[in-house]
Amino acid sequence: MTMLNAQGLLGERKLSPKEVAEILDSTVATLAVWRSTGRHKEKLPFLKIGAKVRYLERDVEAFLEGCRRTETDTKAK
């Protein structure tokens, strides 16, 4: 049985920055830059538990879904 708190986070898989970096084919340092600069903060939220950083598996999956494309965006931003 999975227990839930008010936020529904208990029982959910929490990934370390190393695990997320491997999934995203990135580096732990890149994730640290994203966190410190706020880049992707709405798309890739993280948990700060004491000195540790963790990512919910569902948030990583949602981030990857948001990266899916069917064509290249050629518009300059």
What pLDDT is stored for residue 16 in this prediction?
97
Q: Find all residues with CB under 8 Å of 60, minimum gap 6, and list them.
A: 15, 20, 23, 24, 44
Give the pTM: 0.78
Average pLDDT, the chain: 87
What pLDDT is stored for residue 44 in this prediction?
94
- Read off the pLDDT band of 6 (50, 70, 90): low
Amino acid at 32: A
